[in-house]
Structure 1
Amino acid sequence: MFVQLGILITSLNPATPALRRFFNESHMIRYSQPASNDYLTFLVTLTMSMVMFGAILGSIASPVFAMLMTRRTAMISYHMATLLSIMLMSPVTYYCNSYEAIIIGRFVSGFARGYGMNIATLMVTELSCVENLAVCQSPPGWLLPLGFVIGTVTGHPKVLGSDSMWPILVALPGVLSVFYLLNAVIIPPSPVLLLRAKKKNEAYKTMIKLRSSTKDAVRQEFSQLEKQVMEGPQSHRVAFSELLTNPAYRRQLFIACVILTNIQSIGFINIMLYSDAIFIDAGVSPEYATYPSIGVCSEAVLLAFVGSFILKGLQMRRVLISGNLIIAISCVALAITAALKDLSPAMPYANVFATVVYMFGVGTGPMLVSFPLMVQSVNKYPQANAQILIVAGTVFWVAASAIGFSAPYLFKFLGPYAWLAYTVMTALTTTYFIFFLKSS
């Protein structure tokens, strides 16, 4: 899922010129005149952001999927929705010359990811005891950047980002969905659900399949997990209204929302959606703009992958704060180097270097620890964790939609100084983490 999301977000970034040409050709066929540059910018921005808009609705709808379906059935429906969205984005869009189809397809895909991401997070919380949640939640930190790399590489005009190949590009995530559906039948229920169903032996066998550690380590973890399930108040599930009326729940909800919103407030989604355009505006030749995009995405994968192996020994709060500080400084450097691009031929290279430093902050900070830190915090109240995750996930996508859609217009009006807006937002969330987030 997270690899698919990464591909979906970044694949159209280097393929934007081909997409603009397709939109313009479709407009010519309909209205016998070319589309204005502003209208094409609007269509591209809407297409890019529609994933996030759909994810808002999907996240809101995730309680319905969680209640009416098993975890496995919900994930099957997610992958079926993904294939439906691909049908809209690829053959329907291309052969019908309909840019509305790709916009709707991206919305459907986003809807699937909105509820799929929440269900997947719940599934992970049911695979391990609280003590090991950080390790179990770390894979999204490097699987998502891996998708970024795959999307950026395959979206290059010399690969699948050309005028004739981009329909194949948008269909690429479907390969992973087909693979999942072919193997869905052998995926067992989570240990927690089996324990709640009084199927202890099956739960233990499932835990053994999921772990590569020694039997003693598995037995110890299973005992901890069983204890948590027995102690958890299963008879009472917190209503969404209680998240606001209960001070303890309200605080955990606010923490979860700030942690996830921080990923968006640092401006990370803008680099993933528009990095080629950002580098071009900073003076990099359009012919070579995709290569630094591939480089920074690869850097994020490497940092997150290495970090996932040492995450258990880290103080995640300190990691998050240090990453944010690096990001804030890098945003200032990005603004300066882009503003002074005409001063020296070296400025575009300095801008790329500032982006590399920025991505270092992301990869060693928010991208690495946000999800495990949020889940670890939420799991202090097992009876409310599902509701908190759903609300926080919805807020996450609302922030992504607002920041992702507004970015081109923000940079149009403020120019390179738009980066300072992200510096301010990063400083605000970092201040909260320093003074109000307890050590983890």
Structure 2
Amino acid sequence: MYGLLLPVGQVASTFFAWSKILGSYERVLGAILYRLIFTVLFVMCFYWIPETPYQSYTKHGSVEAAEILQRLRSSDAENIQIELNLLRSVAGNDLDTQREATLKEIITTPQYRKHFLCVVVTFSLLMGRGFSNVLAFSDKILLEAGISQDVVTPTSMGAFFLSALASAGAIIAMRKYDCRTLMIVSDIFIVLSHALMTASIQTSKQIPGMSWGAFAALYLFMAAFGVITTATFALLGVLCVDRTRSLCLLIGGAGFWFLAWFVGFISPYLAVWIQGYAFLIWMGTTVLSMVHFSLFVPMTKGKTENEIQTFFRK
């Protein structure tokens, strides 16, 4: 759900920030207004967010765990019992295996360490593709590439709306394709978008028609990023086990927000130092992401938790 709400927020924040709405260009203020709305809604709905079946089983026993499984799976009693038996086999009788793992345990346990690094790098690199740069400065980028000032903001909103549609489409695509496959293919398109944007910015003055390349690059980037966002959030939870999931996602989330800030912070300086070639930096981090997915992220579709974790035991 978060993966879908993020691109929807891009459209809303750009709309609120449009000078014809607020009277001045304030995209950051628009983003804050949007996020404030959903923060309040999240707090209001937090009471109804259930524990995971594993947490419920280890804290309260099989009865409450069965109730949560019924809410999440809508399965018949036989399937619920099969999953409860699996929870018992995972939790065991040793109380030490039922609590959440500490950071020291994760670092010193080879299997946990591998999937911890996999989650943190995957989560952090989500923003390393240059998204904060595109979100905050898309109008400026399009202007530099020769797009008319009258249409840059509507163009940005259209691209962000396309990202929301692509994110919704990714939810459907994940029924058939593995998340890792979707992310690698989307990264290929992001690399192409960075290359096209660089060419457009550098040649628009000599070749006016190249301004349309920036238009296409923005739409290509946002569509691919919408797929990657949804696939990333779907993938993160299944890469971990219950004992390590909360800590992995907590530290991975910190990396995610640090990269979000860093990309937005460094982008204006890169625009001064290397001008239109700044997008090549984000192209490089996108290539690193593709290498990471290819070598260190397992296929997860149709696999059990034990089969996924076997990848990290090697």
TM-score normalized by structure 1? 0.60
- Read off the aligned partner of 1:150 and give its amino acid letter: A
The 8 Å contact of residues 243 and 253 in structure 1, kept in 2 or not, is answered as yes
The equivalences for 1:16-415 within 5 A come to 139-160=1-22, 162=24, 170-180=32-42, 191-198=53-60, 200-210=62-72, 213=74, 215-216=75-76, 220=79, 223-224=82-83, 227-228=86-87, 231-232=90-91, 235-236=96-97, 237-364=100-227, 366-379=228-241, 382-415=242-275
Q: Quote the RMSD (CA, aligned, Å).
A: 2.9
Question: After the TM superposition, which of the residue ranges 154-163 and 287-296 deviates more from structure 2?
Answer: 154-163
Give the Å deviation of 1:208: 4.3
- Read off the aligned partner of 2:202 and give its amino acid letter: A
Give the Å deviation of 1:333: 0.8
Aligned residue for 1:238, secondary structure, equals: coil
2: CA distance between counterparts of 1:235 and 1:171?
44
The verdict on how the C-alpha distance between 1:426 and 1:190 changes in structure 2, with shifts beyond 3 A counting, is closer
Superposed CA deviations along residues 127-185 of structure 1, whole A, max 9, x for unmatched, are xxxxxxxxxxxx22211111111111222122245489x97984454444444555555
Give the Å deviation of 1:330: 1.4
1: CA distance between counterparts of 2:213 and 2:196?
9
Which of 288, 294, 299 is the aligned partner of 1:434?
294
- Read off the aligned partner of 1:424 and give its amino acid letter: G
- Read off the aligned partner of 1:158 and give its amino acid letter: K
The 8 Å contact of residues 161 and 169 in structure 1, kept in 2 or not, is answered as no
Give the Å deviation of 1:258: 2.0
Aligned residue for 2:60, secondary structure, equals: coil
Aligned residue for 2:126, secondary structure, equals: helix
The 8 Å contact of residues 192 and 225 in structure 1, kept in 2 or not, is answered as no
Corresponding residue for residue 280 of structure 2: 420
- Read off the aligned partner of 1:300 and give its amino acid letter: S
Give the Å deviation of 1:205: 4.1
Question: After the TM superposition, which of the residue ranges 253-262 and 194-203 deviates more from structure 2?
Answer: 194-203
Give the Å deviation of 1:195: 2.9
Q: Which runs of 5+ in 2 are unaligned?
A: 301-314
Corresponding residue for residue 106 of structure 1: none
- Read off the aligned partner of 1:278 and give its amino acid letter: I
The verdict on how the C-alpha distance between 1:225 and 1:173 changes in structure 2, with shifts beyond 3 A counting, is farther
Aligned residue for 1:241, secondary structure, equals: helix
1: CA distance between counterparts of 2:58 and 2:219?
47
The verdict on how the C-alpha distance between 1:207 and 1:434 changes in structure 2, with shifts beyond 3 A counting, is closer
1: CA distance between counterparts of 2:50 and 2:153?
41
Give the Å deviation of 1:202: 4.4
2: CA distance between counterparts of 1:163 and 1:355?
20
The 8 Å contact of residues 128 and 263 in structure 2, kept in 1 or not, is answered as yes
Question: After the TM superposition, which of the residue ranges 262-271 and 221-230 deviates more from structure 2?
Answer: 221-230
2: CA distance between counterparts of 1:145 and 1:408?
23
Give the Å deviation of 1:403: 1.7
The verdict on how the C-alpha distance between 1:172 and 1:383 changes in structure 2, with shifts beyond 3 A counting, is closer
2: CA distance between counterparts of 1:230 and 1:158?
60
The verdict on how the C-alpha distance between 1:205 and 1:436 changes in structure 2, with shifts beyond 3 A counting, is closer
2: CA distance between counterparts of 1:371 and 1:385?
13
The 8 Å contact of residues 154 and 161 in structure 1, kept in 2 or not, is answered as no
- Identity %, equivalent residues: 23
Give the Å deviation of 1:207: 4.6
Question: After the TM superposition, which of the residue ranges 144-153 and 194-203 deviates more from structure 2?
Answer: 194-203
